[in-house]
């Protein structure tokens, strides 16, 4: 498949989960990838991409550090001759503390990565995109940014902020040829959600995970990567300013009780 043939794309949170799956899929679809993560395991993603015949470099950096963000975006230009898209995906769970226990420091940490980190990727990619009159920005928000019960208050607010960035920046980029969209994943099995899966497996309740959505299962990182690569591609040329749930249908419903079968 060549949906991203010739595209030069930066992907953050690339050492694990959704970001790693997106690097692998984007490279399979023909993109040259700058894989960015604060974890040194990002080199494994690069090695996997190259091992599969793709093109990638790895950069260890934090999206919460503005100089580092500017620098890894410039690395895409230096290494691959330009930048066509960025997937601002890196995020942290925030720890899920009860809201009365949250401190300003907790808030600053969660917002610093999940919301300001996304903003910094947008801020430093956009001048390249507006100069060339094209570019696609994709951000990872969450169903937690749409409604309650998918994370702590700080995490949910940080993701609502990402949705707002996609909506407001789309209009600030009016007529420039640059698009921005957010993906709202449901429950996906990744490093971030590993404790949920580990607990359920220990209790023998794994079969109940994901049963509250009509697809009746949890999701895989590849299923989010598919949406990210579509939004990064020219096939999504008329999709702009949207927050798109990829959640098995979870966010389509009013509250309901899972019926017991049998
Ligand atoms: N897994 C889910 O169910 C789910 C649901 C909704 C949204 N999300 C979002 O998906 C995105 C990807 O998470 P995932 O589920 O793949 O989890 P993950 O923990 O497997 O991957 C997240 C990656 O982001 C990296 N990261 C964290 N802080 C960083 C920073 N400051 N700079 C650079 N890299 C940093 C981590 O090192 C890690 O490799 C996150 O934004 C998360 O909030 C996940």
Q: What is the pLDDT of residues 67-119, one digit of tens each?
A: 999 999 999 999 999 999 999 999 999 998 999 999 999 999 999 999 999 99
Can you give the C-alpha Rg of the chain in angstroms? 18
**Torsion (CA) 79, 75, 182, 195 in degrees, nearest 10:** 100
Residue 226 has pLDDT above 90, yes or no: yes
For residue 256, what pLDDT band results from cuts at 50, 70 and 90? confident
- 223 Cα: distance to centroid of ligand 1 (angstroms): 15
| Protein residues whose CB sits closer than 6 Å to any atom of ligand 1 | 12-13, 15-19, 37-39, 62-64, 89-92, 113, 117, 140, 142, 185, 187-188, 190-193
The CATH code of the domain at 8-245 is: 3.40.50.720
Residue 13 in 3-state DSSP? coil
- Mind telling me the catalytic residues? 155
Closest-CA residue, ligand 1 atom 37, reads: 39
**Torsion (CA) 243, 246, 248, 252 in degrees, nearest 10:** 0
58 and 13 Cβ atoms separated by less than 8 Å = no
- 261 Cα: distance to centroid of ligand 1 (angstroms): 34
- 88 Cα: distance to centroid of ligand 1 (angstroms): 10
pLDDT tens readout for residues 109-164: 999 999 999 999 999 999 999 999 999 999 999 999 999 999 999 999 999 999 99
User: Between the CA of residue 104 and those of 65, 107, 110, 154, what are the distances in Å?
Assistant: 19, 5, 10, 10
Domain limits of the chain? 8-245
* Residue corresponding to tokens 């910094």: 120
Q: Say what the pLDDT of residue 184 is.
A: 98
Residues 6+ apart with CB under 8 A from 122: 86, 88, 137, 139, 165, 169, 180
Closest-CA residue, ligand 1 atom 43, reads: 91
Residue 255 has pLDDT above 90, yes or no: no
């Amino acid at each position: 498949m060549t949906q991203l043939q010739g595209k030069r794309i930066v992907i953050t949170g690339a050492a694990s989960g959704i970001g790693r799956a997106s690097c692998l899929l984007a490279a399979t679809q023909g993109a040259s990838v700058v894989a960015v993560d604060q974890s040194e395991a990002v080199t494994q993603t690069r090695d996997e991409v190259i091992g599969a015949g793709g093109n990638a470099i790895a950069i260890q950096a934090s999206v919460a550090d503005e100089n580092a963000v500017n620098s890894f975006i410039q690395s895409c230009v230096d290494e691959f001759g330009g930048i066509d898209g960025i997937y601002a995906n890196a995020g942290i769970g925030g720890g899920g503390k009860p809201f009365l226990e949250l401190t300003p420091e907790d808030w600053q940490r969660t917002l610093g990565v999940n919301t300001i980190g996304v903003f910094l990727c947008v801020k430093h990619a956009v001048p390249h995109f507006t100069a060339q009159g094209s570019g696609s920005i994709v951000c990872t928000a969450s169903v937690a940014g749409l409604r309650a019960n998918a994370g702590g208050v700080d995490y949910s607010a940080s993701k609502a902020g990402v949705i707002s960035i996609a909506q407001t920046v789309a209009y600030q980029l009016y007529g420039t040829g640059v698009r921005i969209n957010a993906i709202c994943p449901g429950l996906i099995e990744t490093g971030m959600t590993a404790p949920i899966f580990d607990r359920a497996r220990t209790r023998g309740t794994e079969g109940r995970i994901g049963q509250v959505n009509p697809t009746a299962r949890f999701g895989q990182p590849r299923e989010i990567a598919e949406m990210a690569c579509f939004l990064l591609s020219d096939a999504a040329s008329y999709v702009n300013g949207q927050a798109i749930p990829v959640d098995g249908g979870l966010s389509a419903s009013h509250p309901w009780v899972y019926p017991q079968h049998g």
